[in-house]
Amino acid sequence: MVNHNSTSEIRALLETYGLSLKKRFGQNFLIDAGARRRIGATIHDELSRQSAEIGEVWEIGPGIGALTAELLALNRPVRLFEIDHGLIRVLRDQFGDSVAIEEGDFVRTVAAHERAAPAAIVGNLPYYSASSMVARIIESDLSVPVMVFLVQTELADRMEASVGGKDYSALSVLVQSHYTVTSAFHIGGAAFYPRPRVGSTVIVLRALPDRPSRSVSLRTSYIARRAFGQRRKTLRNTLRPYLAALEAEAIDPGLRPEQLTPAQFRGIACRVPENSPEELQ
């Protein structure tokens, strides 16, 4: 069993396998037992709110399994998505057949499970690709009632940002169109090896009851990205092809994107024809 609290034992383990930490994969292992337990308890609480006790728990970026041990205690099937083939050897030796493992970049390997319905997706996400992973999940056909992620506080702020705030962005619109976002707690740099330069936050995303269809979601996302791409300009300039949709939704084209709620972006998207060529750009 790996001692996840000891940096010297983690270093020794990596050495045994001939591995080194890869910065490009955002490898910052969670070495604080209290933080791991708290995340495990958060996931446990979220799952116990669900009516059916079925469905897999997916973990993105298990690393050497610091959080995986917490997930196995939930008595659910666990599926791991890990890009680092060296670490996968460590995971297989540690967990054997008690977990399913998907090797490769989550953003690609998830495609094989596009219509799955995991009970939850969790992970201490690699900072360099956390936002694209979250967007990939939301823009897929996956049906995920709850997600619990450990991310950079700056990203948590962007996902949670309210209309009008400086952090409010196309990502806020996408995430909040599908999920309520709650910052559960912060975790300091000393809880990680190696220690990151920025703070981290555990966020809980709970699915809204009236989530938009995939098609509306893609159009909402496209329109929000287009508007926020030039956030100082008014919608009259950035959403010129959609002015009729704005008018139908009684939205003033003199507004800037940060003044529109996720529901208003969705309203515009619903007025744009489904086969709009811009939809998937």
Instruction: Closer to ligand SAM by CB, 105 or 279: give it.
Output: 105
Residue ranges in 176-215 that form contacts with ligand SAM under rule CB under 6 A: none
Instruction: Closer to ligand SAM by CB, 25 or 271: give it.
Output: 25
Binding status of residue 129 toward ligand SAM by CB under 6 A: yes
Considering only 10, 83, 119, 151, the residue that binds ligand SAM (CB under 6 A) is 83
Residue ranges in 14-73 that form contacts with ligand SAM under rule CB under 6 A: 25-30, 60-63, 66-67
What crossing angle do the helices spanning 153-160 and 130-138 adopt, rounded to 10°? Answer: 30
DSSP 125-162: --TTTHHHHHHHHHTSS---SEEEEEEEHHHHHHHHPP
DSSP 36-84: HHHHHHHHHHHHHTSSS--S-EEEE--TTTTTHHHHHTTTS-EEEEE--
Selected range binding ligand SAM among 71-79, 99-107, 164-172, 252-260, rule: CB under 6 A: 99-107
Minimum distance of ligand SAM from residue 49's CB (angstroms) = 23
- The footprint of ligand SAM on this chain (CB under 6 A) covers a number of residues equal to 23
Distance between CA atoms of 79 and 209, rounded to whole angstroms? 25
User: Residue 13 is inside which H or E element, if any?
Assistant: helix 7-16
Do residues 154 and 125 lie in contact, with contact meaning Cβ atoms separated by under 8 Å? no
Q: How far is CA 59 from the centre of its chain?
A: 11
Minimum distance of ligand SAM from residue 129's CB (angstroms) = 5
Binding status of residue 235 toward ligand SAM by CB under 6 A: no
Do residues 102 and 92 lie in contact, with contact meaning Cβ atoms separated by under 8 Å? no
Minimum distance of ligand SAM from residue 67's CB (angstroms) = 5
Binding status of residue 124 toward ligand SAM by CB under 6 A: yes
Per CB under 6 A, residues contacting ligand SAM are 25-30, 60-63, 66-67, 81-84, 87, 105-107, 124, 126, 129
